A and B are shown apart, each in its own frame.
Chain A
Amino acid sequence: MNRSRHFRETLVNGGLNLILVIALIIVLFPYFWIFLTSLKPVDLVARPEVWIFSPSLFNWRDVLLNSDVPRYLLNSVIVALSTVGVALVVAAPAAYSFSRFNTGGGATRFSILAAEMLPPAVLIVPLFLLMFRLALLNTHLAIIAAHLTFVTPVITWFLIGFFDEVPKDLEEQAMVDGYTRFQAFYKVVLPSVRPGLAAAAIFGFVLSWNDMFYALILSGGDSKTLPVAIAGYWTFRGIEMGKMAVAILVAIVPVLLASFFIQKYLVKGLGGGAVKY
């Protein structure tokens, strides 16, 4: 081997790896710090110079046992699950129709994307007034309806990408074998995109789970979702920081775990069949 070339390559590669490690640290440090803070005794929370201390579970106990955070957690779960459930049922057949029959032409896919991108500002005013008139403010239903406005298009968009990859032969075989069109869809096509459905469901769940804007305006009191509750730690009184850290971790850990499962499906879903790489 050519020594100097080899040496130079090793050097360059090492430098590039170093950049990645730095990026890794930038990503991980905030998690680490929040985790550290959640374990700090109350008197140390406001002191950034303290890195080593005997950990205390006071904050965790306080938030999980003596606060309303578990209730808000449950609210978030209920809202996200209901939203995803409804969205999947209405989106799957439509996505299949768009994918297989190109229903509505190229404009359909474009409008789905546009709906997904709609600024929430446009919808919040009428949704608020509507819920106000229907006396549905501060109920789960109001938030679910609001979340459907973006979760449904996203899931539809997501599933189009997966349906695009199902060979047409599969359902034609089923139809020749005596299934109706809908049976062919329900019993043959749907099961074959199961990973896609799961990924779409998880992604939709994450989107609903993460929303604060709609929930902030449409919910209050007992119907608050977790992000709205977290926003309530805004006051930044020193004593609250440790609890805030716990609440943040409670909100982000489930989502981070879910993210590892859906990462590899995400691209196909986000591309929505718009990009043929």
Chain B
Amino acid sequence: MITQRSFFPFSKRMIVPLALTLLVVLIYPLVFSFWVSLHEYSLTALEDVRFIGLQNYIGLRHNPSFWNALRNTVVFVFGAVFLETVLGFGLALLLHRPTLRFRNFFRSILLTPMFITPIAVGLMFRFLLNQQLGVLPYLLDQIGIQVDWFGPQLALFSIILIDVWQWTPFMLLLFLAGLESLPASPFEAARVDGASWFFTLRKVTLPLMKPVILVALIIRGLDAFKVFEYIYAITRGGPGDSTETILYYIYKVAFRFFRMGEAAAMAYVLIALTLFLVFILYRIMSADEGA
């Protein structure tokens, strides 16, 4: 059979299934969600859905819970991602040493936390850190340290540490792969040229790793915005609202208070925020490539 080169080329035909799937499960909900965000749409009063324009958005400006959740989330994201980047890079450097034995063993084990369902991680640490039942408070108590991990002061910080436990491996994975794929000779040249370890790190390793670091920051940063399970498993937003993050708050508004319109509006604000961040990082990246 002779196939004519058609107006609808092969390259486009190949993406039809994906396009259709995403249209149904992604694009349609997105549009619908936006429509909902413009309405007073309560699950308890479905017969009374009213168009209210941007009221749901405007209302957010004076919603202290929303701002609190946003603030908590931003603190969480920056704290967690910062620690994960530093620790991940440090561990990657440690694993990358040529003298290290059992490298594969270390790497395989150190990477495991990123594969576990976050709800299990949350419950695990809730159990481990529990004042009465937990083994860590018990051990710390033996050496005279008493910490209320999920008290009002520390709860958010503890959640950050749990995130660090689970997601530092992700940074480690990317950084280690990045280090391994760097050519050897610039580092050998630096050795012959008499550069110290720190000088090489600052002048050679970090600049060469910049693209990898940026990608890692984008992926992990955006992912951290979605933190939900640890909160759900451990604090449910408390004590008070000190650990209420944006996704948890949206969940509460939508499925505890059934105010769908308001929840959808908040989700759109979140989307705008994350897209803005992606856009900035993307620009930084492409600007870097152009140089």
Residues 3-19 of A at the B interface (beta carbon under 8 Å): 13, 16-17, 19
Instruction: Find chain B residues with CB under 8 A from A37 CB.
Output: 127
B198 to chain A, nearest CB (A): 13
Please state if A244 and B177 are interface contacts (CB–CB under 8 Å). Answer: no
A20 to chain B, nearest CB (A): 5
Report how many residues on chain A are interfacial, defined by Cβ distance under 8 Å.
95
Question: Please, how many angstroms separate the alpha-carbon atoms of A101 and B14 in the complex?
Answer: 11
Segment from A56-64, A67-75, A191-199, A254-262 that makes contact with B? A254-262
A16 — nearest CB in chain B belongs to which residue?
B94
Q: Which of A121, A153, A156, A238 contacts B247 (CB 8 A)?
A: A121
Q: Which of A244, A266, A277 contacts B127 (CB 8 A)?
A: A244
Please state if A230 and B226 are interface contacts (CB–CB under 8 Å). Answer: no
Please state if B14 and A97 are interface contacts (CB–CB under 8 Å). Answer: yes
Please state if A255 and B138 are interface contacts (CB–CB under 8 Å). Answer: no
A225 — nearest CB in chain B belongs to which residue?
B117
Residues 3-32 of B at the A interface (beta carbon under 8 Å): 3, 10-12, 14-15, 17-22, 24-26, 28-30, 32
Does B156 lie at the interface of the complex (its beta carbon under 8 Å from any beta carbon of A)?
Answer: no
Instruction: Find chain B residues with CB under 8 A from A211 CB.
Output: 117
If A180-B3, A258-B115, A259-B112 touch, whether A277 touches B212 (CB-CB below 8 Å) is yes
Question: Please, how many angstroms separate the alpha-carbon atoms of A30 and B127 in the complex?
Answer: 10
Please state if B271 and A119 are interface contacts (CB–CB under 8 Å). Answer: yes
Please state if A97 and B15 are interface contacts (CB–CB under 8 Å). Answer: yes
Instruction: Find chain B residues with CB under 8 A from A126 CB.
Output: 28-30, 32-33, 36, 264
If A117-B274, A248-B123 touch, whether A212 touches B118 (CB-CB below 8 Å) is yes
Please state if A27 and B33 are interface contacts (CB–CB under 8 Å). Answer: no
Instruction: Find chain A residues with CB under 8 A from B124 CB.
Output: 30, 33-34, 248
B33 to chain A, nearest CB (A): 4
Please state if B21 and A123 are interface contacts (CB–CB under 8 Å). Answer: no
Does B119 lie at the interface of the complex (its beta carbon under 8 Å from any beta carbon of A)?
Answer: yes
B127 — nearest CB in chain A belongs to which residue?
A241
If A122-B268, A244-B127 touch, whether A209 touches B18 (CB-CB below 8 Å) is no
A104 — nearest CB in chain B belongs to which residue?
B15
Please state if A263 and B107 are interface contacts (CB–CB under 8 Å). Answer: yes
If A123-B29, A125-B33, A212-B119 touch, whether A152 touches B135 (CB-CB below 8 Å) is no
If A97-B15, A121-B247 touch, whether A48 touches B135 (CB-CB below 8 Å) is yes
Does B280 lie at the interface of the complex (its beta carbon under 8 Å from any beta carbon of A)?
Answer: no
Q: Which of B26, B100, B178, B211 contacts A17 (CB 8 A)?
A: B100
Give B176-193 as 1s and 0s: 1 = Cβ < 8 Å from A's Cβ atoms.
Answer: 011001100000000000
Question: Please, how many angstroms separate the alpha-carbon atoms of A13 and B133 in the complex?
Answer: 38
Instruction: Find chain A residues with CB under 8 A from B178 CB.
Output: 275, 277
A196 to chain B, nearest CB (A): 15
B168 — nearest CB in chain A belongs to which residue?
A23
8 new A-B contacts, CB < 8 A, other than A210-B116, A259-B111, A259-B115, are A94-B19, A119-B225, A124-B254, A231-B233, A248-B124, A251-B120, A252-B117, A255-B117
